[in-house]
Amino acid sequence: MKRFAIIDAIHDGVARLELADGGWTELPLQRLPAGCREGDVLATVETVVKADAQTGPDWIPELVVDREATAAAARRIRAKLNRLREER
């Protein structure tokens, strides 16, 4: 799995994504995995669409929610918020 983006916001059927390279993009919500939500880390996986003996396999990238990376990001954010509260 390759990290692709984090869902920053969802509004009016459009998801705003922060890309792994620091850029931003927007995608229609229907192009994202079902049930995804703000804060989810999206990753790409390649799925074989068809395999041909002469040309080899055809691959299509698919977006999936990386639950492990999403949980790790949430832990990092909670830790930062806790440190900020303690500094007050």
14: left (phi over 0), alpha (psi -120 to 50) or beta: beta
Residue 16 and residue 9 in contact, taking contact as beta carbons nearer than 8 Å: yes
Is pLDDT at 59 greater than 90 in this prediction? no
Which pLDDT score is estimated for 4?
80
How confident is the model over 20-45, as a mean pLDDT? 93
Q: In the structure, what pLDDT confidence band is assigned to residue 70 with cuts at 50, 70 and 90?
A: very high
Is pLDDT at 20 greater than 70 in this prediction? yes
